[in-house]
Amino acid sequence: MDQLLKSFGIEGKILLWQIINFGALFAILWFVLYKPIKKIMAERESKISESLKQADDLRKKSEELEKEFKSKMASERRELEEIHKRALVEQEKLKKEMKIQATAEAERIISEAKALADEEKQSIISSLEKDVRDMAVALASKIIAREIDEKSQKKFIDEAMETLRKSS
């Protein structure tokens, strides 16, 4: 075989030393580079998988918080709508009560005004009656004082009545 190798220009001793050198270099590179690189790659892979797991956990937590937030918002919206409905009902109730109170107040004012008008009317009537009596007495005293005829008496009565009408 030595011949065959020599025909290709390869010497056996050099080839052996090259194989030994290659093996030594391979062993050195294996222990010096490959194992630390493999260890670094494993650590990096571990960190990446851990980061992916944390990202997934954060995504799940975020989705959960989003659902919780939406649920709370919906609950708050329903509660707000309920408060609004109650406020509208209360407003209508208050409106009706105020209308009833205003109607009662208006009726009371009208009733007081009618009573005041009746009092005023009675006062005016009594005043007129007094004036009529006073005028009748005055007329009678004039008639008695003058002793006038029937025509003059009718004239005095008409004047007295005219005076009464003007004063009313």
Number of domains in the chain: 1
From CA 113, how far away is CA 121, in angstroms rounded? 12
What tens digit of pLDDT does each residue of 40-90 get? 999 999 999 999 999 999 999 999 999 999 999 999 999 999 999 999 999
Q: Could you write out the DSSP letters of every residue in the chain?
A: -HHHHHHTT--HHHHHHHHHHHHHHHHHHIIIIIHHHHHHHHHHHHHHHHHHHHHHHHHHHHHHHHHHHHHHHHHHHHHHHHHHHHHHHHHHHHHHHHHHHHHHHHHHHHHHHHHHHHHHHHHHHHHHHHHHHHHHHHHHHHHHHH---HHHHHHHHHHHHHHHHHH-
From CA 27, how far away is CA 38, in angstroms rounded? 15
Can you give the pLDDT at residue 11? 76
| Average pLDDT of the residues of the chain | 87
What tens digit of pLDDT does each residue of 94-151 get? 999 999 999 999 999 999 999 999 999 999 888 888 888 788 778 777 766 665 566 7
Range of the domain at 160: 2-167
Burial 67-92 (b: 16+ CB within 10 A, else e): eeeeeeeeeeeeeeeeeeeeeeeeee
From CA 50, how far away is CA 156, in angstroms rounded? 129
Nearest residue to 132 via CA among 165, 154, 90, 103: 165
Separation of CA 33 from chain center: 71
